[in-house]
Chains A and B, each alone.
Chain A
Amino acid sequence: MPEASSTKLASTADFDRRDLDWYIDKVVQLIVFFAGISAIIFIIGIFIFITMEGLGFLFEDFTFKEFFLSPFWEPSDEDAPEYGILALIAGTASVTGLAMIVAIPFSLGAAIYIGEFATGKVRETLKVLVELLAAIPSVVWGFIGLSIMNPLIIDLFDVPVGLNVLNAGIILGLMAAPIMTSIAEDALKAVPDRYREAAEALGATRWQVIFKTVLPAAKNGLLGAVLLGVGRGFGETMAVLMATGHAVNIPGSLFDPVRALTATIAAELGETAVGSPHYQALFTIGIFLFIITFLINLTADLIVRGIRKG
């Protein structure tokens, strides 16, 4: 090798940057990669662990017909325990349904006001208030249902007990509304300003812009917000435990007490022996809850993503 070229041209070894920093970089990359996939690991882990604990029940006492179609949840009956979650599903569905009737109009209305009408300081203040409302812990909501709504309902409607579908539905609605407002407002914000400008340039008034342009464009995002609200209501535990009255019952009116799926687990898990059929049945309810909320979240995500792609 001629001497001149070896001084002018660097050999490949000079380009080799595999010094300490290079190795640190690779190690860090590996670490953050594992942190990145941790969410996937946890989701799979949650499913595996609750299935593992509920497996005994699924193989032995579980019959599809009894579990989903029997309204009798009597797991502590010594002779013939019955594990029917129909009444619990009815309880969860009735409370969530009422909560959505309360929350959907108000949260969408509030989102439209905050996102499209309010400006400057008013808008900032309202956004902060909504954010603070969303932060109130569910056990506090449950306590409000128990100690403030309960006597109120007894007085207003002249019923003996105020812990019922109405109470829990309103509480859950108030709880879900701020979160739905935030998500719905994000959906409105995702509509490009040029849509609004184009509509205004054609002479549309503000509400015409909103109704004919912004809302149709934000349709999917708003639907996603509603679905996430449903998922939230479905999975809420402490508030429905404290405000529903906790009686296994298929409700016939707003003033019937009910019991929710989540509340059943919260109330009974502490009293059951680890590994008993009752304990495993509670985990089986957990599997059911996991699958339902997974499907709701997945649907919401697909719908919201639909607009981004289209």
Chain B
Amino acid sequence: MFAESDLNARNKRVQGLFRMLFLMMTVLLIVPVAIILFTLVSKGGSVISIDFLFTNPTDGMTAGGIFPALLGTVWIVAVALLASVPLGVAAAIYLNEYAGDNWFTRLIQLAIINLAGVPSIVHALFGVGAFVIFFGFGTSILAASLTLAIMTLPIVIVSTRESLRAVPQAFREACWNMGATRWQTIRRIVLPNAISGILTGVILEVSRTAGETAPIMFTGAAFFLPFLPQGVFDQTMAMSLHLFVVATQVPGVPEELPFGVALVLIAMVLIMNSISIAFRMYLRGKKKW
């Protein structure tokens, strides 16, 4: 055995010190959020009940439940998915299966990065200019959902592309050698092998879409509506905007109410994300190649 020199010992100490420091930083990043979540649960937990989830707000939104907002968020998310999932998956298929490694593909990638980086309020302005005014959808679920669809398109594209890339090239080559066309290969071999990965990305998109506020404020979400939406050209309430409204715009709201709304919203988002993460881990464990 070698005897430990002074230098070894010192190095070890420094190493331990740095390890500690970085661990502390990681913990400090997570602890405040844990405290905040705990506060949300302890203050908002008492508000949550079946009634709270399934009744209308009453008394100028100072009492009652959140049903119209909950349902509105479901509407907005569903319509947004209908638009962005086919488009995003198709775009990812193009990028991974057809596009070459050239300047044009680089340009598309740059556009995707920028689409994800444009501030949400600028997406809102675009939604107002394009969907509400230019295409004449008015402030409606359709306008709000399309705005969100464009905003969350990069999530679908990036995650779909990742899962397409994970399908081994040999699978495709085997299929081509049988005389299949590119599309037959994609439909019969690539997509079935990538579908679960794509689904993971879609769930992630649901969570993101449900939480966004700024893009829907002026394109389709209303502060308060006495009726439920009947179609995509109606306005609707939404969970995220409802939290903003009861927290800042309505006087005389009991203190716990916004905490309850925040808790439901955050629970929706985190549950969606957890499902997506769990699904991804399950798939990783199951992978055969």
Chain A positions near chain B (C-beta within 8 angstroms): 21-22, 24-25, 28-29, 31-33, 35-40, 42-43, 45-46, 49-50, 52-53, 105-107, 109-110, 112-114, 117, 124, 126, 128-133, 135-140, 142-144, 146-148, 174, 177-178, 181, 205-208, 210, 228, 231-232, 234-238, 242, 262, 265-266, 269-270, 274, 282-283, 286, 289-290, 293-294, 296-298, 301
Contact of A137 with B134 at beta-carbon distance under 8 Å, contacts A36-B108, A181-B29 already known: no
**A24–B117 CA distance with the chains assembled, in angstroms:** 35
12 extra interface residue pairs, beta carbon distance < 8 Å, beyond A106-B25, A265-B121:
A25-B184, A31-B90, A35-B94, A106-B29, A113-B26, A135-B208, A143-B244, A147-B258, A148-B36, A207-B14, A237-B214, A270-B218
Binding site for A on B (CB under 8 A): 11-12, 14-15, 18-19, 21-26, 28-30, 32-33, 36, 39-40, 87-88, 90-91, 93-95, 97-99, 107-108, 110-115, 117-126, 128-130, 133-134, 150, 153-154, 157, 181-184, 186, 207-208, 210-214, 217-218, 240-241, 243-244, 247-248, 258-259, 262, 265-266, 269-270, 273-274, 277, 281
B30 & A137 in contact (Cβ 8 Å cutoff): no
Taking a contact as CB atoms closer than 8 A, the residue among B118, B150, B244 that contacts A139 in the complex is B244
Which chain A residues lie closer than 8 Å to B95 at the CB level? 36
Can you name the residue of chain A whose Cβ is closest to the Cβ of B117? A297
The CA-CA distance from A135 to B265 in the complex, in Å, is 11
Shortest CB-to-CB span from B204 to chain A, Å, is 8
Cβ distance B200 to chain A, nearest Cβ, rounded Å: 12
Contact present for A293 and B117 (CB under 8 Å): yes
- Residues of chain A contacted by B248 (CB below 8 angstroms): 146, 242
- Could you name 28 residue pairs across A and B whose Cβ atoms are closer than 8 Å? A25-B181, A28-B183, A29-B183, A36-B90, A38-B91, A38-B153, A39-B153, A46-B123, A49-B126, A50-B126, A53-B128, A106-B28, A109-B26, A112-B22, A113-B22, A136-B270, A138-B211, A142-B244, A144-B36, A177-B29, A205-B15, A207-B19, A238-B240, A242-B244, A262-B214, A265-B124, A269-B217, A289-B122
Selected contact of A132 from candidates B97, B126, B273, CB within 8 Å:
B273
Cβ of B217 and Cβ of A270 under 8 Å apart? Answer: yes
Contacting pair A40 B118 (CB below 8 A): no
Q: Are B91 and A35 in contact (CB under 8 A)?
A: yes
**Given A113-B22, A146-B248, A207-B15, also A137-B122 (CB < 8 A):** no
**In the assembly, what is the distance between CA of A238 and CA of B119, in Å?**
11
B183 touches A43 (CB 8 A): no
Please name all residues of chain A whose beta carbon is closer than 8 Å to the beta carbon of B125 when the two chains form the complex: 49-50, 53, 265, 269, 282-283, 286
Could you say which of B12, B18, B243 contacts A140, with CB atoms under 8 Å apart?
A: B243
Separation of A39 and B248 alpha carbons in the complex (Å): 35
B211 & A137 in contact (Cβ 8 Å cutoff): yes
Contacts of B91 in A (CB 8 A): 32, 35-36, 38-39
CA distance A109 to B24 in the complex (A): 9
